[in-house]
Structure 1
Amino acid sequence: MSIPVIDFGAYSLDGKEVPEEPMHNLSRQFKAAFTEVGFLFLKNTGITQKEMNRVLDVSQEFFQLPDELKRPFSWTIIDNCSHGWVFPEEERLNPLRPPDLKESFNIGRFQPDIEWPPVSEFREILTSFFHRSKELGLRVLTVMAHSLDLDPEVFLSAHRFVGTNKNLSVLRTLYYPPVNRESVNEHQLRCGEHSDFGTISLLFQNNEGLQVRARSGEYIDVPVTPGAILINIADLMQRWTNDQFTSAPHRVLLPPAGDSNTRQSVVLFLNPDHEALITCLDGSNKYPPVTGQDYLMERIRGSFDEY
């Protein structure tokens, strides 16, 4: 299995409407990728490698701060939105493994009362990137709807409040520090096997380590493709499409012994609005109706030991 690479130039953030033929081609490729693999790479999206690098660079400045300077910005669910620093080994995405060897900063809302770390341009760069990624994600949802012969409003109307306290979408900038093999617990990974929670995820990464599970059960390495964005189906979208689109488990391995490299990535987890009612699009009752907020809060609680 390999992850398809799809040219999104016809519907990039630099453009407007898509003519019928390019939309048909995109829809066909999306449907094949999301039913067979659950992941795809998008290139020529309008988000450049330079933009990604700015986010990674300013994030690195934050992660290099002493913990005592980061702790005042610790993660919490504020006003129904996720915001703040998730400290190292606070989260375990696979409950059967020890906590993940990573830290992150979550951005999910932009009200004036939100406090931001004292890192130059941190707020401005991450806020801009959140909104750019959101707009790209909505375009992806539009193509996904076309691929299923649906009115795009079926998906778009459930994501009207992204970036507000009526939605739990979150941009996470992640840092995986160097690994000391002598202090690693048995079965511990940088990020344990899991599938994402909500609608779709948009991943920007700068080095290898991510693996995706194929239908065969085998994990395959995800290459780093400069300038390309990795898009994957999340669990709520799989429910929504009655398993037509597949949410594939993935993980981040430990680096090879003697490798002291760090890893960084940025992910937009695009999720439905709190009050959006998710029901099977084919009219079946395979999965019971659930609101975006109820489903996501249950999954988030399962990832944090003390939440």
Structure 2
Amino acid sequence: MTTQPPAPGAESRIPTIDLSAWLSGDRAARAAIAQTVDRALRSAGFLLVRGHGVDPELRARIRDVARGFFHLPAPAKDAYAVKVGGRGWLGPGAEANGYAEGTETPPDLKESLSFAADEPTGNPAVDAEWFLPNAWPGEAPELKDLVETYLTQMRSLSDRLLELLGVALGEDEDFFTRHTGHPTWGFNINWYPGTERVGPPLAGQFRIGPHTDFGTVTVLDRQRGKGGLQVFTDDGGWEDAPFDPDAFTVNIGDLMARWSGERWSSGRHRVLPPPSDAPAEELMSLVYFYECDPGTSVRGLDSHTYLRGQLDAITSS
């Protein structure tokens, strides 16, 4: 599949910001960063974020351990098989993200290890749906400590980003974080194998089909690849997302777009299938989906009724 080269000005639609400069407290720097973020979220819904303080070695180690699990024979992984929204292994064909847009597509060409919020609130009904224990594969005993360390850092980073977004929207810094005292979140380790595993892609088939995310912010640690991330804008169409190995790729989801009064655009994106000129390409992404407290009303929409409906929509049947 050919890709459209970035159009002139594409970099400016997905700018890089330095979070450490934002956290420094310098008023001029903060004002400039907030303006940059506001412009970017009105266009592509994406940012690159440096100065986040998350150890690259931790991310590399998670990939190494997860890769060992993904390369296990299918019967070993089947013990952890779940449907979308569950905690465990999402095997081949489990998801079709294009369905979230109402587009019938072949299943996505990926596997995932999926984790989610697991600290109970004390409300039995809420906990039974949103705060169940995670499943940690015994075949990858190092994974639990690595991922839990990473998740602690991701929640802290996500709250810092939400504080920035509150100011960028012209509100108080805690405009969003006052609703993240006990939030839900999801974390996927997405494995994108080559065609020797998944076969040649079908017409309209992607590693992840075109969609927008569902929550507030998504924090993505990805790898450079030909069959990688593309972002859609009205001005440029589909373009390869800019890549910086030291930066996280951050996008806003549907709840955040609604929370902004549709000032900002939920970042539409897809992940290309294995490229014909590099069919053995193997990539892995660490994807943290941040949401909000159950029961939060986002401009009249119950946040978690919406989230459950979208998760059900992308379940491939």
TM-score between both structures, scaled by the size of structure 1: 0.87
Inter-CA distance 290–113: structure 2 relative to 1 (3 Å threshold): closer
Gaps of 5+ in 2: 1-9, 120-131
How far did residue 204 of structure 1 move?
0.4
Inter-CA distance 67–182: structure 2 relative to 1 (3 Å threshold): closer
Q: Which moved more, 1:178-187 or 1:294-303?
A: 178-187
Asked if structure 1 preserves the Cα contact closer than 8 Å seen for 2:83 and 2:94, the reply is no
Asked if structure 2 preserves the Cα contact closer than 8 Å seen for 1:170 and 1:268, the reply is yes
Residue number in structure 1 paired with 2:274: 255
- CA distance in 1 between counterparts of 2:21 and 2:149 reads 23
Residue number in structure 2 paired with 1:30: 37
Residue number in structure 1 paired with 2:203: 186
| Structural RMSD (CA) | 2.0
Asked if structure 1 preserves the Cα contact closer than 8 Å seen for 2:201 and 2:273, the reply is no
- CA distance in 2 between counterparts of 1:215 and 1:131 reads 35
SS at match of 2:87: strand
Asked if structure 2 preserves the Cα contact closer than 8 Å seen for 1:207 and 1:264, the reply is no
Residue number in structure 2 paired with 1:93: 97
- Describe how 1:1-80 pairs up with structure 2 within 5 A: 1-2=10-11, 3-11=14-22, 18-76=25-83
Asked if structure 2 preserves the Cα contact closer than 8 Å seen for 1:41 and 1:228, the reply is yes
How far did residue 228 of structure 1 move?
0.4
Gaps of 5+ in 1: 280-288
SS at match of 1:94: helix
How far did residue 217 of structure 1 move?
5.4
1:155-182 residue CA offsets vs partner (Å, 9 max, x unmatched): 01222213xxxx2x10111001112586
- CA distance in 2 between counterparts of 1:172 and 1:182 reads 23
Asked if structure 1 preserves the Cα contact closer than 8 Å seen for 2:45 and 2:265, the reply is yes
SS at match of 2:88: strand
How far did residue 109 of structure 1 move?
3.0
Residue number in structure 2 paired with 1:126: 147
Inter-CA distance 151–255: structure 2 relative to 1 (3 Å threshold): same
How far did residue 145 of structure 1 move?
0.4
Q: What is the aligned length?
A: 285
Say which of 155, 160, 176 aligns to 1:139: 160
- Residue 214 of structure 1 aligns to which amino acid in structure 2? T
**1:152 and 2:168 correspond:** no
- Describe how 1:231-270 pairs up with structure 2 within 5 A: 231-259=250-278, 260-270=280-290
- CA distance in 2 between counterparts of 1:48 and 1:228 reads 11
Residue number in structure 1 paired with 2:302: 291
- CA distance in 2 between counterparts of 1:290 and 1:82 reads 23
How far did residue 294 of structure 1 move?
0.2
Asked if structure 2 preserves the Cα contact closer than 8 Å seen for 1:210 and 1:222, the reply is yes
- CA distance in 2 between counterparts of 1:219 and 1:22 reads 31
Say which of 219, 224, 232 aligns to 2:238: 219
Residue number in structure 2 paired with 1:170: 186
Q: Which moved more, 1:100-109 or 1:65-74?
A: 65-74
SS at match of 2:221: strand
Task: Give the number of the structure whose residues are more often helix, by fraction.
Answer: 2
- Residue 85 of structure 1 aligns to which amino acid in structure 2? W
Q: Percent identity?
A: 27
Q: Which has the higher contact order (CA 8 A, sep 6+)?
A: 2
